[in-house]
Amino acid sequence: MTSKSAYIGGMTWGWTGVRGTWTGEQADRSMDLMAKRLQVNWTAIALGALQDHAHATEIKFREAPTVTDEEVRYAIGKAKKLGLNVCLKPVVNCADGTWRAHINFFDLDVPCEPKWSDWFASYTEFILHYARIAEDTGCEMFCVGCEMVQTDRREHEWRELIAKVRAVYSGIVTYNCDKYQEGQVHWWDAVDVISSSGYYPIDAWEEQLDRIEQVVTKFDKPFFFMEAGCPSREGSQHIPNDWGLPGAPSEEVQHKFYEAMFSSSDKRDWVGGFMLWDWPARLYEESEAGANDDYCMFGKKAEQTVREYYTAKIEQSSKEAAAK
């Protein structure tokens, strides 16, 4: 997907994009360490903007706590200086804590009720704003949406939005569907690359990859996991998408999850890489890594697992590209 290496060895940086945290010494340190420790060749610069609740129709992306445009441009520029390819990933969240997958309206517009047409008008403004920034800053990839499960059925609106994105952005376009939803998106032909969230139980990777392979074959598109990861927490290997799961910190759980995910994916040449979840703009101290039970693997056993895997995959991909 790039001239240097087709393999995406990536990490998501900066989530959720809290205003005031994406510039300065701590942010620079975070991205420097991400690039050095993991040997990534890609990063997803991921920011969140808020709508009030799941049935609101206005996305307030110009307001705090969302990062400013200046911060977005700074983070992209920093990544570029480190030699990384960048995917800009603007995401909508609900201010009341409802997960974005539940944003939903009546299938038909009804007077006096919130409407898909109003929501998509606001969402389109939101996405095009960042698509223009992605174009201006030379981002190699742009993600038009993330885990919007209830919106996935709105095929006409998504096709219209993607066409408008292509009018202002010339790079690779993808959509990040949620786990288990790969086969529910019927408009994959409209994007350049299929991507999904790979939060699958440690013992279910073969089964899930069998299922996803059918979708990739049907649409004949490149594929990678736009998100994938596991908290360093007891029990998380069985339900890695549950960021609030109770359990004691465990580096071993996270390490074993990554070993299983990478081992299973290695058998499928159509898996084009990962944009792992996630690396915050404000890192904890490395001395605190053992007590940290979140997704970030800074200073944990899984850090070496990721670094070694990415180093080997990127080198292999580069050799294959050079031989062509």
Task: State residue 174's pLDDT score.
Answer: 98
Contact 119, 105 (CB under 8 A): yes
pTM: 0.97
**H-helix or E-strand containing 188?**
none
CA dist 181 and 194 (Å) reads 12
Q: Is the pLDDT of residue 113 over 50?
A: yes
Task: State residue 3's pLDDT score.
Answer: 39
Q: Is the pLDDT of residue 233 over 50?
A: yes
The CA distances from residue 208 to 111, 113, 189, 270, in Å, are: 42, 38, 21, 14
Domain residue ranges in the chain: 8-323
**The Cα angle at residue 163 between residues 157 and 166, in degrees rounded to 5:** 140
In the CATH scheme, what is the homologous superfamily, with its name and number, of domain 8-323?
Glycosidases (3.20.20.80)
Task: State residue 300's pLDDT score.
Answer: 98
Task: State residue 4's pLDDT score.
Answer: 45
pLDDT in tens, 47-88: 999 999 999 999 999 999 999 999 999 999 999 999 999 999
Q: pLDDT: is 230 or 323 the higher one? A: 230
CA dist 296 and 289 (Å) reads 9
Task: State residue 33's pLDDT score.
Answer: 98
Token pair listed for 91:
């995401």
Task: State residue 2's pLDDT score.
Answer: 44
CA dist 187 and 130 (Å) reads 22
Contact 178, 186 (CB under 8 A): no
CA dist 61 and 47 (Å) reads 10
Instruction: Name residue 89's beta-bridge partners.
Output: 46
Q: Is the pLDDT of residue 293 over 60?
A: yes
Q: Is the pLDDT of residue 147 over 50?
A: yes
Task: State residue 1's pLDDT score.
Answer: 58
Three-class SS of residue 40? coil
